[in-house]
């Protein structure tokens, strides 16, 4: 049974961590092949399952040590029909993959989350098409119809929420938000941006967020930015009402563009400590952000550096919501 589907605890403003770049970490740092970059395929293999368990245990332990809540993502980002042919999967296979990914996350939470603070089970949903180079415009109506299938599968599981990750256009975000609402699932929309701070379609981040909110009646619980380096979007974060709808960051370790990353044969893991300092700067500008993690090229080192940098900033600023949450939890 879902624990937090009717009330997401991260909306209270306490600290929450996420994991990092699951696929890039396992592929480049641990030599594990992931078929079609679809992490759910690892769950059918004992070695792949063990690798994912080891990966997530590190982040769950970090959340415990830093007295943070945790958003535990299910490996469902590519477990939808657009990728069926590439994966050689039937609709039944994909439904089973979604169900198994949620079961795996719940087992991890129950077995390894020795944490007094909440662990929220979130299912990732990727765009219909390439997250780096959109295959084409998708209308809100088409997106609603398309994503309804996966959301219907997930609604019958123990997932608390869904996260539309690495999305590239506001119209698809509108459709998936409507479909999630119809399925009774809280949804977070996470946009990715290019090096100019705009979505791959050329739309501004401001326009995308304002358009989705205006069209859906503020359906998304909040917004995030992922799969982009802080340098790519820091300059477009104007002090306007739309900015306060952003509550989470999952940045790339690398400054490379999406096109450059797509062609890169070696992992660019950047500098974890520099990334942590950049998060610190961003949080000083947007102190309401409380969901922090990493994306491509990042791993446990980066999220640890991020948590350390933000915690140090809060210590310098006196008692903060992060510290108050820890105290309330008995830390």
Give me the pLDDT at residue 225, please: 98
Give me the pLDDT at residue 50, please: 97
Tokens of 216: 């859906």
Work out the end-to-end distance of the chain between its first and last CA atoms, rounded to an integer number of angstroms: 28
252-283 pLDDT, tens digit each: 999 888 888 877 778 889 999 999 999 999 99
Q: Is 294 helix (H, G, I), strand (E, B) or coil?
A: strand
Tokens of 273: 């400590």
Give me the pLDDT at residue 311, please: 81
Burial of 108 (0-12, 13-18, 19+ CB in 10 A): buried
Domain ranges of the chain: 9-328
- Domain boundaries 9-328, corresponding CATH code: 3.20.20.330
Q: Is 326 helix (H, G, I), strand (E, B) or coil?
A: helix
Interhelix angle 170-183/205-216, nearest 10 degrees: 30
Give me the pLDDT at residue 316, please: 56
Give me the pLDDT at residue 250, please: 98
> Considering the chain, what is the average pLDDT of its residues?
92
**Residues in the chain with pLDDT values less than 70:** 134, 312-331
Cα distance between residue 250 and residue 233, in whole Å: 12
- Residue 205 main-chain phi, psi, to 5 deg: -60, -40
Number of residues that make up the chain: 331
């Amino acid at each position: 049974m879902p624990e937090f589907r009717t009330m997401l605890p991260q909306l209270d403003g306490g600290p929450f961590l996420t994991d990092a770049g699951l696929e890039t970490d396992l592929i480049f740092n641990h030599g594990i092949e992931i078929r079609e970059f679809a992490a759910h395929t690892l769950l059918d293999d004992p070695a792949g399952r063990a690798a994912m368990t080891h990966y997530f245990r590190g982040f769950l332990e970090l959340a415990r040590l830093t007295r943070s809540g945790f958003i535990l993502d299910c490996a469902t980002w590519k477990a939808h029909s657009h990728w069926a042919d590439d994966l050689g999967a039937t609709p039944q296979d994909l439904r089973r993959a979604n169900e198994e990914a949620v079961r795996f996350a719940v087992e991890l939470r129950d077995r390894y989350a020795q944490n007094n603070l909440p662990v929220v089970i979130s299912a990732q949903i990727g765009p219909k098409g390439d997250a780096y180079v959109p295959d084409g415009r998708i209308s809100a109506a088409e997106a609603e119809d398309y994503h309804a299938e996966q959301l219907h599968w997930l609604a019958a599981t123990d997932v608390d929420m869904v996260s539309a990750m690495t999305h590239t256009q506001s119209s698809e975000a509108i459709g998936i938000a409507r479909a999630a609402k119809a399925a009774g699932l809280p949804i977070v929309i996470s946009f990715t941006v290019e090096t100019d701070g705009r979505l791959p379609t050329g739309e501004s981040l401001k326009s995308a967020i304002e358009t989705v909110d205006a069209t859906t009646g503020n359906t998304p619980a909040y917004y995030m930015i992922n799969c982009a380096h802080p340098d790519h979007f820091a300059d477009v974060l104007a002090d306007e009402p739309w900015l306060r709808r952003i509550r989470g960051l999952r940045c790339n370790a690398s400054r490379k563009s999406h096109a450059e990353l797509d062609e890169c044969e070696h992992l660019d893991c950047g500098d974890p400590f520099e990334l942590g300092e950049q998060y610190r700067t961003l949080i000083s500008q947007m102190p309401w952000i409380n969901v922090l993690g990493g994306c491509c090229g990042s791993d446990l080192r980066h999220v640890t550096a991020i948590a350390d940098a933000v915690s140090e900033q809060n210590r310098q600023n006196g008692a903060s919501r992060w510290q108050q949450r820890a105290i309330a939890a008995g830390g």
